[in-house]
Chains A and B, each alone.
Chain A
C-alpha cells in the first residue's frame, strides 16, 4: 500500500541553525502523487504548511522549503535558520490527484524543539 516515512523525533535544534526533516514516500496505488507538509503548533490544530503537486517543483512557506523528487521518492523539509516559534510537530503527507476528493496518507510526525 501507500506509505510515508519521515524522520523519527524528537528533533532538537538550536535557534538560527539549519534544519532538515526527511520524508520518503511509496505510492504504489497512486499514479500522480501530491505531497504536503502539515504542522501542528502547541495548542493548535493541524494546518497546511506547504504543498507540491508536480514532480520537480519546490514549495515554500514561512521560510520552509521542500522539493518533490520523483526519482528518490522524497520530499524533505528544510529551513536555513530556525526560530523558537518553529517548535511544533511536522507531518509529511501523500495525496492522490486521481480522485476528486483525495485521501491523505500521513507519516508519523516529527516533533521539533528549537532551543534559544
Chain B
C-alpha cells in the first residue's frame, strides 16, 4: 500500500487559475515537506511543517500556500498560476529530528498553459 499519497498524478491548468495539490502520509510522521523539480533543475525545497506548524519557508512567492487540515495532510494551494510554475511537486515526510530519513511521495506533475 502506498505510504504517501499525492493527488492528482497529472494536472493541467491555465495561466491565472488556482489549483490544490493533495498530500497524505500514512507513516505516522510529524514532519512534512514540499519540494519542486522543474525541467533540468534539481529538486528544490519549498516548505517544511512540524506538528502542522510552518517551520521553514524557502519559497519567495506568496502564491504558494501550504494547508494542513490534519496531522497527516499537507496540501499545497497555488494561486495565479504561471507557466514557470510547471514542475513536478513532491511531498515528503519524516520523523522529528534533523537526521531523520525523508520519505517521498510519487509527485504531481503540473503543467501550466
Identify the A interface with B (CB < 8 A): 4, 34, 38, 45-48, 51, 53, 91, 93, 95-109
B90 / chain A contacts, CB cutoff of 8 Å: 46
A106:B104 contact, CB within 8 angstroms: no
Question: Does B70 touch A at the CB level, under 8 Å?
Answer: no
- Answer whether residue B58 sits at the interface, using C-beta atoms and an 8 A cutoff: yes
Interface string of B43-66 (1 = CB under 8 A from A): 111001110000110100000000
Instruction: Enumerate B17-44 residues with CB–CB distance to A below 8 Å.
Output: 31, 33, 35, 40-44
Closest B residue to A102 by CB, please name it. B98
Chain B positions within 8 Å of A104 at CB level:
35, 43, 45, 102
- Residues of chain B whose beta carbon lies under 8 Å from any beta carbon of chain A: 4, 31, 33, 35, 40-45, 48-50, 55-56, 58, 90, 94, 96-107
Whether B98 contacts A48 by the Cβ 8 Å rule is no
Report the minimal beta-carbon distance from A1 to chain B, rounded to whole angstroms: 10
| Cα(A46)–Cα(B43), bound, Å | 11
CB-CB nearest in chain B for A96: B98
Across the interface, which residues of B come within 8 angstroms of A99, CB to CB? 55-56, 98
Q: Which residues of A lie under 8 Å from residue B31 when comparing CB positions? A: 101
B55→A100 contact, CB < 8 A = yes
Distance (Å) between the CB of B36 and the closest chain A CB? Answer: 11
